[in-house]
Structure 1
Amino acid sequence: MSLTSDLANLPSDKKRVALEMSASLAGVSLRVSRAFVEATPKATKILNAENLRLWAEMGRKLAMANADAGVKFFTDGVSDFKNVPPKARALVFQICTRQLILSSSIALETFETIPDLAKKVNNDELFTEILTVANDVANRSAKHSADFCDTHQRSPQLSKKIRKHKRVQSP
């Protein structure tokens, strides 16, 4: 199967984004671009066109520093993102892209742990609110946004406290 046939059956909006972003990625590394094209059909089952663009842009920024990291990023895919509410996905990419300025390892760790955080919070609206706050924090400090999203510490505890507080306030 050729790379272009991998994209042939995509909806037109996703196909357009995939072609644009694969060209952009090829300017950084042909290997990274190929990994993106190969991963795109599976990714488009989870991501909308705009999220596909954000995912590709994050991978491009990773690849600019380390092509192997970019290849691995796309090869790993986004299958765990089915646990992330669709309304929150763009926030994840925005947070992680800001964290890339500080550290690719911090950004990748956040990216990899967010689906687990979504499961632990287990409330789409609350999870989106948490990521909105994390995104605001990321505008000021990428490091503090990583701390805020730490799935083993703050955010799951915060979500429990918010849920408990909302139950107490409910009539």
Structure 2
Amino acid sequence: MEITLVRGDITEQAVDAIVNAANSSLLGGGGVDGAIHRRGGPQILEECRVLRASRYGGGLPTGQAVATTAGRLPARWVIHTVGPVYARKEDRSSLLASCYTESLKVADELGAATVAFPAVSTGVYGWPMDDGARIALSAVRGASTRVAEARFVLFDATAYAVFDEALTRLTA
């Protein structure tokens, strides 16, 4: 699998699936989640409501993933995953890695060849960007998947630089 880095807006990526750093309610929020729901339109929220009324009545568990339509986005699907909130006193890195590997499993079930990821949990959930990048890239690189390209879409120059450095270290 090819791992690429792009500086930009994940809602503009023409890929098979984009990954949403969702909250457990699946009903929209801030950051990446809010941007995906706003740009994708009401179809995404409608499918999320159906998921909440059926399989995920208590919300989507942290580290798990589920797909919906992408609505008006240029992608075909949105894969929603719930990242862990960072805690200094508790190692939750396996949950963060699971967000990426479970998203790739869902992508395989959908037949997606290209998947765009945000930096899950590195925003309001407080995960340090350098550690988040290391975990994300290691999880994706080590995953058994049929996905041909995993694209990390980083919103600003700082995040891009941190991911670029982590990817360089990982492939060295």
TM-score, normalised relative to structure 1: 0.30
Structure with more of its chain in helix, by fraction = 1
TM-score, normalised relative to structure 2: 0.30
Q: Which has the larger radius of gyration?
A: 1
